[in-house]
Chain A
Amino acid sequence: MATKDVNLPDIGEGVTEGELVQWLVAVGDSVEADQPIAEVMTDKATVEVPSPYAGTVKELKAEEGDVIPIETVMLVLNESGAGAAASAPAPAAEPEPVAAPAPQPQTNGGSHAPQPAAATPASAGASAEMYPPVADSTVLATPGTRRLAREMSVDINQLQGSGLAGRVTRDDVLSAKGGAGAVSAGSPSVQMPAPSYQGQPGDMEERVSMRGIRKKIAENMQMAKRVVPHFTLMEEVNVTSLVKMRTEAKAMGERKGVKVTYLPFVMKALIATLREFPMFNASIDDEASEIVYKKFFNIGFAADTPNGLLVPVIKNADQKTILQLSAEIVDLATRAREGKLQLDEMRGATMTITNIGSVGGVYATPIINHPEVAILGMYKMEDKPVMINGKFRAQKMMNYTITCDHRLIDGAVAANFMKAFASRIESPSALMLDMI
């Protein structure tokens, strides 16, 4: 019977591999062309991979949790129709290849280049308490440097040596520990110690595999916290005028069928302020030791979804009207909750806004979405008594935070940024002055 290999297709620009979250078919299932066969998680999105052919599933080539390089065989189909008929007189020698010739062991580590085997004797289970892992035999570093890395808990296998032929120097290790250099700009995954948790026996606890979006969030947050020295500045801003303006805009939007929220106004105020403070719309290329100033404004906004935090991105937000932004926010947020975002809709943000004010909380200290260098937080809006011209007046007040990468942005700069931003929020008519 003719078989067809189904490869993991190219699922997004720059994506080289994906983690198999879940098989949607089993051996023996018949599959139609374009029927989803598996959920694969890449970067931040989980996508359903369709089968290009129709047929019956002969063999699954990967297990849930495996990382599969793109263009690698995921499963094998017995072709339906013509293929089966062609080999009609096949004797019943092979009934159903149940656990027939064992499929070769799966590539668990993803698309790594062939590596020479480590020269060390086989280990009896690498223990969790041993970190960093043993230097691979291909790592070029002196014994003294290898020991330094170990004592500083730097995994020397992850370093890009700056010396001749990629030799890892003492300075490479020291700067890796300092944060810079430990992670090359392109690689978001950082190897961390994996302490085990000794739990209670019985059914007092339930164990669920950490995979998919949750695992990716964990990796990204860990990396950002490790690489970026965070600090947060907090401010209370009078939004009475903004509320008035938005109330009017909301009514106008409704006539056009668009729900206008506060977020587009905040975005506009933010972008105007970013133009004034370009270092907030930047990234640090640790590998090159360079600051990258971006001349475009892609604003991400944190969206809470049943699967966890996602950050859809509004591309070129500076070139869009309040109405356009409103419509796009609603669309992206809806699809984020449904798990239907495309990968490139969550990439390329130059700065991010997190808005948990609708739920509650006075202030928070968000984590920067690396490689961005700042994140703006907006919180609950409340009526508060404010002293104006010697009298208390009820005013709409709202808290904002700006969290910065202190490698690039100093405290005073952040305070000035917040001041400039707050003045735009307090006098939204000033936004007109910035309008393009």
Chain B
Amino acid sequence: MSEVYDVCVIGSGPGGYVAAIRSAQLGMKTAIIEREWLGGVCLNVGCIPSKAMITAGHFLHKMQHDGKSMGFTVGKIDFDMKQLKTWKQSVCDKMSGGVSQLLKGNKVDIIMGVADFKNSGEITVQTKEGPKAVKAKNFIVATGSRPIDIPGFQADETDVLSSTGALDLEEVPKNLVVIGGGYIGLEISSYMKNLGAEVVVLEASDALLKGMADPECVQVVARKLKKNGVTVHLNAFAKSWKKSGKSLEVTAEVKGKMETFKADKVLLTVGRKPNSDEMNFKAAGVKVDSKGFIEVNPQRKTSAPGIYAIGDIAGQPMLAHKASHEGVMVAEVIACQNRVYDAKTVPAVIFVDPEIASAGMTEEECKAAGYTDLKVGKFPFGANGRAVSMMHTDGFVKMIADANNNVLLGVHIVGPEASNLISEAALAIEMGATLEDLALTIHPHPTLGETMMEAAEATLGHAIHIIQKPLAKGGKSGASARA
């Protein structure tokens, strides 16, 4: 009765749906299982809706702050959060609907429900109509991750919100306490502030975005947060919260002292964990490591024959685009093509203000990897015509190269449209490009992209649009940013 699929993908996020489409393109009979929304966290409660909200926040901020210099007198701006939410939802629906169309167009069977492994060749899906057995020769597990809680705080999505709840608010809270100064916490903090909330960030470590970005880039963001009026407490451990009248009160140990913070909502963004405690992986013989990631090889094969894992559940970095890349690769591996995960870099973007984006290694990582001789150079957005004309001059492009052969090892951008600029760096690193390759590629004027060319020149010691020591031949980075 139950048919046997060539490929059954579990989870329809950016890893899963991509894997399903490529599997179908390769002529394999494919099914995809989804328990909540097609497109997964990314399209519905993650990447996409947060970008919609961030865009709105920037829009309001620009009207209020930048208009005046350009001659606009902006009066009182009426803002309807419910309408913003509706628009945000329409963005998500459009993307999710697109996924549905693509899956159907590729003749992928969509099964809505919660899946559990019965054994390595069969899952049981709890659908609305009851349990359904699905057999497949190959399974691709792409069930992602979920936010974690900390002692004293559990997301109830009413008072204590996870990112999911924060993206779905009907009104802007007056006071928002954000626990966790990682990229999700800061992305939400910055748009909430722009939309009018008073935001306090409590970060347990001694720095924002710890281990997620180049420390110099983080400094620029920290300064801007302060300038915009976001309060940041480092070395701050949130302990508990309670209701106090109509609002909430959060107690935290800040640098050893107990302090209380008033809040209307608490946002809990302290990290995410892989969903490997679900789906009964044991029954399928799929091994999970001590951090909760499914153990995989470079072809994303798990310990169980015929079962593959991709995306957040298969290891760091937990990024949508890594999952998609793995999805295509695994589908091709199943179709007997010789493929392996051998990307040199997974670029990362953080939509804070200004944006941070990186590809390749930081200086510290280069040194740990055995590169002893580095060239490091920077070019500031303040010296770029387009950035100035956009009124967006905070930040810089920083490049790191192997001093022996000028091969590019890392690029770190903080500044306007960093997220859109970083792809050039990722391509350069994948191609094994040198600083000269970037410097000698004509970049169109006037664009933000010119900063890539100039940063390469600066790292070689002779950028045009900043003052550098004459002919710093082969020396260590002559570039000193004039930010």
Contacts and interface: CB of A to CB of B under 8 A. Distances in A.
B287 A115 contact: no
A140 B432 contact: yes
B407 to A, nearest CB: 5
Interface string B318-340: 00000000000000000001111
24 contacts: A117-B369, A119-B345, A120-B342, A121-B293, A121-B296, A121-B298, A121-B314, A122-B295, A123-B296, A123-B297, A124-B287, A124-B301, A127-B299, A130-B298, A130-B299, A140-B407, A141-B432, A143-B430, A147-B339, A150-B338, A150-B340, A151-B338, A164-B434, A166-B405
A219 to B, nearest CB: 24
B315 A121 contact: yes
Contacts, number: 77
B370 interface: yes
Contact of A119 (B287, B299, B340, B344): B344
Interface string B331-365: 00000011111111100000000000000000000
A167 interface: yes
Contacts of B344: 119, 137
A115 B368 CA distance: 10
Contact of A116 (B297, B337, B371): B371
A14 interface: no
Interface string B399-438: 0000011110000000000000000000000111010000
**Secondary structure class of chain A's binding surface, majority of residues:** loop
Given A120-B342, A123-B296, A127-B301, A165 B370 contact: no
A134 B296 contact: no
A424 interface: no
B432 A150 contact: no
B340 A134 contact: yes
Interface string B277-299: 00000000001010001011111
A427 interface: no
A142 B370 contact: no
A124 B296 contact: yes
Given A119-B344, A122-B295, 5 more contacts: A116-B370, A120-B342, A130-B297, A137-B369, A143-B343
Given A130-B297, A134-B341, A135-B342, A121 B316 contact: yes
Interface string A164-205: 111100000000000000000000000000000000000000
A146 interface: yes
B86 to A, nearest CB: 40
Interface size class of A (residues with CB under 8 A): 20 to 34
Interface string A123-155: 111110010001101001111001100110100
Q: Which of A120, A135, A153 has the most CB of B within 10 A?
A: A120
B127 interface: no
A193 to B, nearest CB: 11
B342 A142 contact: no
Contacts of B404: 165
A127 B407 contact: no
A423 B204 CA distance: 91
Contacts of A89: none
A167 B299 contact: no
A360 interface: no
Contacts of B371: 116
Contacts of A122: 289, 295, 315
A367 B162 CA distance: 69
Interface of A: 114-117, 119-127, 130, 134-135, 137, 140-143, 146-147, 150-151, 153, 164-167
Q: Which of A123, A126, A150, A153 has the most CB of B within 10 A?
A: A123
B219 interface: no
Interface of B: 287, 289, 293, 295-299, 301-303, 314-316, 337-345, 369-371, 404-407, 430-432, 434
A318 B316 CA distance: 65
Contacts of A124: 287, 295-297, 301-303
Contacts of B345: 119
A192 to B, nearest CB: 15
Given A121-B315, A126-B298, A150 B405 contact: no
A237 B241 CA distance: 101
Given A116-B369, A150-B339, A167 B432 contact: yes
A150 B329 CA distance: 13
A120 B329 CA distance: 14
Nearest to A142: B431
Contacts of A135: 342
A356 B121 CA distance: 56
B405 A165 contact: yes
B440 to A, nearest CB: 13
Nearest to A121: B315
A185 B435 CA distance: 33
A164 B342 contact: no
Contacts of B342: 120, 134-135, 146, 150
Contacts of A153: 338
Nearest to A136: B342
A203 B344 CA distance: 47
Contacts of A165: 404-407, 432, 434
A156 to B, nearest CB: 9
A26 B302 CA distance: 41
Contacts of B289: 122
Contacts of A150: 338-340, 342
Q: Which 9 A-B pairs have the closest CB atoms?
A: A116-B369, A140-B432, A165-B405, A124-B295, A121-B315, A123-B297, A134-B298, A135-B342, A116-B370
Nearest to B316: A121
Contacts of A117: 369
Contacts of A142: 430-432
Contacts of B299: 127, 130
Nearest to A153: B338
Contacts of A114: 370
Contacts of B430: 142-143
A123 B302 CA distance: 9
A121 B301 CA distance: 12
A427 to B, nearest CB: 57
Contacts of B343: 119, 143
Q: Which of B297, B339, B341 has the most CB of A within 10 A?
A: B297
